[in-house]
Structure 1
C-alpha cells in the first residue's frame, strides 16, 4: 500500500479550492454516495513522497501532474519546464498548487485525473454499474 490509502469504500479527492475545477469537482464528489476524504492542496501541504506516490498510482511522471500551459507556470518557467528534475517538479506543486492539472481521484486501487468536473459523475456511474447496494 502506498502513502495514500486505497480504501474501496472511500473516495479520496486531491483538489485546489481556489480553482473552478476544484470547487466544482468537490461539489460532485460530495453529492455522490461515496464516503469522501478530501485534500485541498491550497490549504494542506502534500509531501514530495505523496506527490511521487500519486504519480505512480496514475502511471505518469510527476511533470505530467502539472498544467505546463498554466499562466503562472509559463510566467515562472517559460519553456524551461523540460529541464526540471523530479524534485523540481515536486517543488513546483508544493509552492504553486494552482498549476495542478485538474483534480486527482483515488477510489480503491483506481486513480485518475479529472480536468472536467462532470467526468467525476461519469466515472462514478460507470464504476457502480452492476453493484448491488
Structure 2
C-alpha cells in the first residue's frame, strides 16, 4: 500500500483542509513543506506528468513573483519547471501523491480519489 505524500504549505487554508481530510481518513501521510524542501526539477516534472497537465497549468498566477517576472512570457515546459523550482511559491498547492497518481487539493475533496 502506497503512503500518501502531500506537498503542503501550512499557511494555506486549502492545504490545511486537504491534510485534515487525509488525516481523518486514517491514511498514513508524509507531509513535505515544499517551500522548505523544494522538489528538484526532475521530481516536479514527474509530479506534473502524474497530474496529466502542462507545467504552466501548475502556476499560481496570482503570486507577486509571477506578475513581476513571468506574466505574459511564453516559456517552454522546462523553463516553467525551472521557474517553479527557483520560486516554489509559484507551485499550486496542495499536491497529493499516491504511488503514480497525483491530484491538486483544490478543492480539498479532490484528494478523495486517492484515499481508500
TM range (shorter): 0.7 to 0.9
- 2:94 aligned residue: 103
Q: Which TM-score applies when normalising by structure 2?
A: 0.80
1:92 Cα offset (Å): 2.1
1:44 to 37, 45, 56: 37
Structure 2: 5+ residue stretches without partners: none
CA distance, structure 1, for counterparts of residue 8 and residue 33 of structure 2: 5
Offset from partner CA, 1:41-84 (integer Å, 9 cap, x none): 1110210000010111111122221122434311222222xx11
Kindly report structure 1 stretches of 4+ aligned residues shifted beyond 4 Å: none
Q: State the TM-score, normalizing by the size of structure 1.
A: 0.72
Aligned CA RMSD, in angstroms, stands at: 2.2
Q: Please point out which of 54, 60, 64 is paired with 1:67.
A: 60
Q: Quick one: distance in 2 between partners of 1:88 and 1:62?
A: 9
Q: Figure out how many residues of one structure are paired with residues of the other and give that number.
A: 116
Instruction: State the alpha-carbon separation in 2 of the partners of residues 11 and 95 from structure 1.
Output: 25
Aligned equivalent of 1:114: 105
Cα distance in structure 1, aligned partners of 2:12 and 2:81: 19
